[in-house]
A and B are shown apart, each in its own frame.
Chain A
């Protein structure tokens, strides 16, 4: 009989580099910085680590060597995982399973990426292997997400102006959050008009609807829940995971209309069941959702069941997703403002929730009052062809 992962595994330490254009740091530097911060936070020595799971989204490096080489961890078992933009949470998920299985006691999780050495912006020059010579050639990530944005506007009767303004409000909020976050990539406040007037990348998505292309790494040290108290009192427990790998329905099935993230819906069902969540809007204190583009956040919150389908624009207008709102979304600044080094983002979201649950948000004005449980949401792929990973973290009961 399968059991829930709930309360079996604890995070006892976390680290995160500053995200951004880290011209002076190699990916090895980023890994070392994030991991040593996590070791120090957990109060462990590198040699205490028994195994590691490494999330790396691009073919920058291969194998677990991406972490064992920079850390020189004495021939320990390291595994590299990849689920595109869902990679970081995927690394956490697999590491947690190993701990829950009691194969290892103390495990390192690392998510990392170095995008800015490739000489191009988002959607180009990641040296991703092209899997087909003619099919889906010439499609960029914003191009794919724009397919969903225009379809969403159409389905829910938003004029182009109304739709674009709704998305702009999301970006303004995320920049407001990120501007106050010391480790974020794009630390600037923007106005709605700035977002509205920015150059268009793929209509309706303009420059400020798109996330930063960043370098960065984040790491966590996890152990069994029983052991956690021996390291610290304010440890954070894993409450549930969800994963859904889609069949690529968007390009094939005429019943997929690009206005919901189907994989997110499936992953949420699994994660909520594990965490025992019935009403996510009430029970979750915060969401870190995958907002590579503003429309990604809008639809993700709906697909997570945190608001009804078609009602996200009302939530956004009411400020329900702001820090002081009903359910804060992307308090960190999100991928939008914190930055999006592909394989690092899931672990970075976990870092934010871990710190918030501990009451240790770096900038005090960012700290939520008494958060109990937070969700991080990552999705690799593109609308209609996603690999969604969810993790829910909470304080001990």
Chain B
């Protein structure tokens, strides 16, 4: 049975940090380009939800049989994130979920596992998401490189837009970048060693293995899309594998999104798919603790895939961070003055009881009067019917901003003011929430908004997540 990609989606945070700003802060000439920076209320889990939403546009979520989540920066060291992402995506209860952590190659490890499950017939459709938000040391070479982002692939055996014809894997003990249990920032060794013996050698080795196995050669591929170490070594790797960097090499996204860790290779692949035509063949590989390589064949269905934001639209929709201070706040890189504020609060029983609307943003539709309401409670606010509700998912509905305020008090917000938002859903229902990813002077009542899953607070070492709204990303 053939298997491949049925749909794809991506997420790139709206904020970008220009490398000029790093040069202003630390001196030096500053390379050209910018990198994507997750908002202060985002992490690799919330970005995974976003990429999943983008991937599942136009697809019945009930048909998804599982979710593999790859990342090196999941919010909990112990406690699966994939199960939370699955709940936020409102997937079925009987799905298989797994976190595939600790390796930049995790995305393609997940992809292989998904392909194997689909081919074996144990799943019809599996969602593979790779997401990363790696925090480099301040004033380190990696600070210029690391960006944040996520990519998702829906792997199945029907409606395939890109068939995966063959694949090859090598596993390697090679150590190049790492973090210990207690580290927040990535450590590396001398670049000349880790690039030469690591990146370039492994990518080349896995490509050769794939070519041998598939009988294909570099000239059989329309494009090559694979892990990019940096802007210089990416074309060099292409060349060593026998590709023509000018004609065949997909853009690395390094100067527009940065090196997005585990998500990087899949994001480059997505960008390639966005520009592909039926019949194109794509070489795809990812590096880290060895390497995975794949030969993909784009099918006729690629032209019929429904509208999604993917890489291109996400790249086009951006807000430049005005200074380094915002970045420090977003990544919480300094010790801040303690504030005497209303203490945030966490309660596992409350979060569990309200799981249908906290995680899945399901509202209630009254069976008597047909109105929709959140939060989920017992008695209808319109007709007072008791316990006569059906659940409806609101996270993917169009919505408008009924009223808002720019609140300079409220809870601590590293990016004040807090925007309070009264959100009315198309088809009924209203949610009181806050607005994120916004420029305060561009907000207007009645503007269209969409829901986005974000980190609200942290207390008792528990991260509280919920849905905020944001101006619709064009």
Chain A residues engaging chain B, CB cutoff 8 angstroms: 118-126, 128, 130, 132-144, 146-151, 154, 200-203, 247-254, 257-258
Contacts and interface: CB of A to CB of B under 8 A. Distances in A.
15 contacts: A125-B341, A132-B354, A133-B456, A139-B407, A143-B410, A146-B406, A147-B404, A147-B422, A151-B403, A201-B408, A247-B381, A250-B422, A252-B430, A253-B373, A258-B422
A133 B422 contact: no
A206 B182 CA distance: 46
A339 B120 CA distance: 72
A5 B456 CA distance: 47
A202 B432 contact: no
A123 B464 contact: no
A253 B430 CA distance: 6
A164 B404 CA distance: 16
Interface of B: 339-347, 350-351, 354, 358, 373-375, 381-382, 402-411, 413, 417-418, 420, 422, 424, 428-432, 434, 445, 456-457, 459, 464-466
A386 B416 CA distance: 27
A202 B403 contact: no
Nearest to B428: A254
B407 A146 contact: yes
Most A CB within 10 A of own CB, among B373, B420, B464:
B420
A146 B341 contact: no
A201 B346 CA distance: 28
B409 A128 contact: no
Given A150-B445, A250-B422, A254-B429, A144 B466 contact: no
A205 to B, nearest CB: 8
A151 B430 contact: no
Contacts of A143: 405, 407, 409-410, 418, 420
B466 A134 contact: yes
B432 A136 contact: yes
B409 A251 contact: no
A200 B418 CA distance: 13
A201 B409 contact: yes
Contact of A130 (B344, B381, B404, B428): B344
B409 A252 contact: no
A interface, over-half SS: loop
Contacts of A138: 407, 410-411, 413, 418, 420, 434, 456
A120 B402 CA distance: 31
Nearest to B455: A134
B301 to A, nearest CB: 40
B432 to A, nearest CB: 4
Contact of B347 (A118, A122, A133, A146): A133
List of 5 A-B pairs having minimum Cβ-Cβ separation, nearest first: A143-B407, A146-B405, A138-B411, A140-B409, A134-B466
A119 B340 CA distance: 7
B410 A135 contact: no
Nearest to A152: B403
Given A132-B345, A146-B407, 7 more contacts: A121-B409, A124-B340, A139-B420, A143-B418, A146-B406, A147-B405, A202-B409
Contacts of A125: 340-342
Contacts of A126: 342
B411 A137 contact: yes
Most A CB within 10 A of own CB, among B342, B404, B411, B457:
B342
Given A133-B346, A138-B434, A250-B422, A144 B405 contact: yes
A130 B345 contact: yes
A151 B445 CA distance: 8
B342 to A, nearest CB: 6
B445 A154 contact: yes
Contacts of B354: 132
Contacts of B347: 133
Given A130-B345, A147-B403, A122 B409 contact: yes
Contacts of A121: 409
A389 B351 CA distance: 33
Contact of B374 (A149, A201, A250, A252): A252
A122 B464 CA distance: 25
B469 to A, nearest CB: 13
Most B CB within 10 A of own CB, among A125, A147, A148, A258:
A147
B406 A203 contact: yes
B464 A133 contact: yes
A134 B464 contact: yes
A142 B344 contact: no
B430 to A, nearest CB: 5
Contacts of A254: 402, 424, 428-430
Contact of A249 (B346, B381, B403): B381
A115 B403 CA distance: 30
A371 B41 CA distance: 56
A361 B466 CA distance: 52
A126 B457 CA distance: 19
B340 A120 contact: yes
Contacts of B428: 254
A202 B404 contact: no
Contacts of B424: 254
B410 A150 contact: no
B224 to A, nearest CB: 44
A278 B373 CA distance: 37
Most B CB within 10 A of own CB, among A121, A128, A135:
A135
Contact of A133 (B340, B345, B445): B345
Contacts of B430: 251-254
B382 A253 contact: yes
Nearest to B424: A254
Nearest to B413: A138
A203 B405 contact: yes
B381 A140 contact: no
A137 B358 CA distance: 13
Contacts of A119: 340
Contacts of B375: 135, 252
